[in-house]
Amino acid sequence: MAPLDSVNSHNAPVAGKILWDVDTQADFMEPSGKLYVPGAKDVAPAMERLVDAARAACVTHVASADDHELNDPEISATPDLQSTFPPHCLRGTRGAEKILETKQRDPLPLSLAPYPPGLIPPLVAGRREILLLKKSFDVFTNPNTEALLAALAPEEIVVFGVATDVCNNAAILGFLQRGLRVSFVEDASRGLDEARTTACTTVWRDRGVTFTTTEEVVASRLRDSLPPADETREWSGTGSTTPLISPRRGFRSPSSRSSS
Ligand SMILES: [Zn+2]
């Protein structure tokens, strides 16, 4: 088992889809956690299936994780649960750890310290597990997120995690804003507030997010993505009127522009 594990976590990942794991940390995922997301514990087995499927298929597993200190702007003694929250996922505590079901084995950690332009692609090359640390609910507050996405150039981002109406929402809106194709694994995610969760998923649907299930993702081995760009013409010639947008082409960042 150990040799296979080490091969899988270091081999060059398969291009195409990537698995995006939002904040599956003990404080959100366990009923005794400091900011438990209702029902999260029940979906941990589904999360484990997704992470295992990605590992087996050599698909990149990006995880975001809160890495708080008490003086972070998001932390408040009188939280509104929209932009401020009670203390949670404090650095070094048990609550900040990822749950066993989604644990990464040897991730490349990317903290808030920005890497010089151009350094992210060689760092990421050949790494299957990446850990994006953050001090706000929005993963795009990590200055390395943008460069990471440009380096990975995913055809599709398969998102799961917690909480749907806070951190999942910020991540997904950020992907959409950058022209990236997103699918959301609804049965491997949970929200804090039901009405707000519904409002978020309604917006995503309108903006073209695909809703999927753990079963579908696992059965596809994360591989039945868009047809390759050179097959696009032929594929759309079959009568489909769905416009195909290649995120590989649609997503541009300053670093990808200068290097291409
Ligand atoms: Zn937080």
Distance (Å) from CA 105 to ligand 1 centroid: 23
For 220, the enclosing helix (H) or strand (E) is: helix 214-220
Distance (Å) from CA 71 to ligand 1 centroid: 12
Helices 2-10 and 40-57 cross at an angle (nearest 10°) of 80
Distance (Å) from CA 121 to ligand 1 centroid: 27
Domain that holds residue 108: 4-259
* CATH code of residue 131: 3.40.50.850
Domains contained in the chain, number:
1
Bond preceding residue 163 cis, omega within 30 of 0: yes
Distance (Å) from CA 34 to ligand 1 centroid: 11
Mean pLDDT along residues 208-229: 81
Q: Which residue has the tokens 């029940």?
A: 42
pTM (global) more than 0.85? no
Question: Which of helix, strand or coil describes residue 254?
Answer: helix
Strand 210-212's sheet: what is its strand order?
108-110, 129-134, 59-66, 14-22, 156-162, 182-190, 210-212
pLDDT higher than threshold 60 for residue 187 = yes
pLDDT higher than threshold 50 for residue 236 = no
Distance (Å) from CA 118 to ligand 1 centroid: 29
**pLDDT given for residue 247 in this prediction:** 41
Distance (Å) from CA 74 to ligand 1 centroid: 6
User: Between the CA of residue 1 and those of 4, 6, 67, 105, what are the distances in Å?
Assistant: 5, 9, 31, 13
Mean pLDDT is lowest, of 39-43, 115-119, 178-182, for 115-119
**pLDDT given for residue 107 in this prediction:** 98
Residue-wise pLDDT for 67-88, tens only, equals: 999 999 999 999 998 889 999 9
Distance (Å) from CA 166 to ligand 1 centroid: 9
Distance (Å) from CA 119 to ligand 1 centroid: 27
Distance (Å) from CA 89 to ligand 1 centroid: 7
Distance CA 106, CA 172 (A): 25
pLDDT higher than threshold 60 for residue 218 = yes
Q: Are 168 and 138 in contact (CB under 8 A)?
A: no
**pLDDT given for residue 8 in this prediction:** 41
pLDDT higher than threshold 50 for residue 257 = no
Mean pLDDT along residues 127-153: 96
Mean pLDDT along residues 120-144: 96
Distance (Å) from CA 136 to ligand 1 centroid: 5
Distance (Å) from CA 88 to ligand 1 centroid: 6
